[in-house]
């Protein structure tokens, strides 16, 4: 049975102490709520990773991840953080392909493929984000956009490496805007993604791939979204900064 995952993306928010307090609060609130095949992943800024990783040891099924890595192993890249360094903190996941990094930092599909490779080399699981802009949705080309993001970002992987990753469908027009894809719109794309995975890697791999929805997900809309057959949880931005909201989203699977 594929994993049900609720991942938080704190983005560039929270000072060190604030982040540790929020994590502790969330971890305590979700501790009796996490069902057997569920995982909670908190993707914090780099500054929190090591401390949160130490705290996750006390919590079954709760993990920490980063929001970016550099594509090279080490070297003269002032200000950057490598996959190996992130892994050394105890973090086990990394968000890659987020639309904010694609748009504001010019991260191309080719660069993202390199980041995916280096993450896997150092045992970090990529949460790989794909999704169309408003214009691409309105012009009806969104299936092509998503297919290309998959082909260039992750379909070069071997079957065994692909089986380790998590996908997240995040329509760009829904991120941080309060506009959510309807459950039907999201399900349509998730089913399309799973079909593409099946065509490339076969049905066993497709059945086991967790595909998360992200984009203004909150405790109100999560139940309808998560009840869709191909939606396996959420990547949560704004609502992950509020312990009650995040916990209520986690509880949707109970
Ligand atoms: C995100 O940044 O991945 C995200 C889904 O943000 P929000 O939930 O705030 O739309």
pLDDT at residue 31 in the model: 84
With bands split at pLDDT 50, 70 and 90, how would you rate the model's confidence at 219?
very high
Residues 151, 221: Cα–Cα separation, whole Å:
30
Clarify whether 170 is annotated catalytic: yes
Q: What is the pTM of this model?
A: 0.97
pLDDT in tens, 15-43: 999 999 999 999 999 988 888 889 999 99
pLDDT in tens, 166-192: 999 999 999 989 889 999 999 999 999
Clarify whether 98 is annotated catalytic: yes
Q: Which of 100, 107, 132, 170 is catalytic?
A: 170
107 and 94 Cβ atoms separated by less than 8 Å: no
19 and 44 Cβ atoms separated by less than 8 Å: yes
Percentage of the chain surpassing pLDDT 90?
93
Residues 72, 87: Cα–Cα separation, whole Å:
14
With bands split at pLDDT 50, 70 and 90, how would you rate the model's confidence at 127?
very high
Residue 221 scores a pLDDT above 90: yes
Residue nearest atom 8 of ligand 1, based on CA coordinates: 237
Ligand 1 site residues, Cβ closer than 6 angstroms: 9, 170, 175-176, 214-217, 235-239
pLDDT at residue 68 in the model: 98
CA of 98 to the centre of ligand 1 (A): 9
pLDDT at residue 92 in the model: 98
For all residues of the chain together, what is the average pLDDT?
96
Closest CA to 233 of 40, 37, 4: 4
Q: Which of 98, 100, 190, 196 is catalytic?
A: 98
pLDDT at residue 156 in the model: 98
pLDDT in tens, 49-66: 999 999 998 888 999 999
92 and 63 Cβ atoms separated by less than 8 Å: yes
Q: What SS3 state is found at 213?
A: strand
pLDDT at residue 243 in the model: 97
């Amino acid at each position: 049975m594929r994993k049900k995952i609720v991942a938080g993306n704190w983005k560039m928010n929270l000072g060190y102490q604030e982040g540790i307090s929020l994590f502790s609060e969330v971890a305590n609130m979700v501790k009796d709520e996490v069902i057997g095949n569920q995982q909670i992943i908190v993707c914090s800024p780099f500054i929190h990773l090591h401390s949160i990783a130490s705290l996750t040891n006390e919590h079954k099924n709760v993990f920490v991840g980063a929001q970016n890595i550099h594509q090279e192993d080490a070297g003269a890249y002032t200000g950057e953080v490598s996959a190996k360094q992130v892994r050394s903190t105890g973090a086990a996941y990394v968000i890659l392909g987020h639309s904010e990094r694609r748009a504001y930092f010019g991260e191309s599909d080719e660069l993202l493929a390199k980041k995916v490779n280096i993450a896997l080399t150092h045992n970090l699981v990529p949460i790989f984000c794909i999704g169309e802009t408003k214009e691409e949705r309105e012009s009806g080309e969104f299936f092509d956009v998503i297919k290309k993001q998959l082909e260039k970002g992750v379909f070069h992987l071997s079957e065994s490496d692909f089986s380790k990753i998590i996908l997240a469908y995040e329509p760009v027009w829904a991120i941080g805007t309060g506009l959510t894809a309807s459950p039907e719109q999201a399900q349509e794309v998730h089913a399309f993604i799973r079909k593409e995975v099946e065509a490339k890697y076969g049905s066993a791999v497709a059945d086991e791939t967790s595909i998360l929805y992200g984009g203004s997900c909150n405790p109100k809309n999560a139940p309808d979204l998560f009840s869709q057959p191909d939606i396996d949880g959420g990547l949560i931005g704004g609502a992950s900064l509020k312990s009650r909201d995040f916990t209520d989203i986690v509880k949707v699977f109970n």
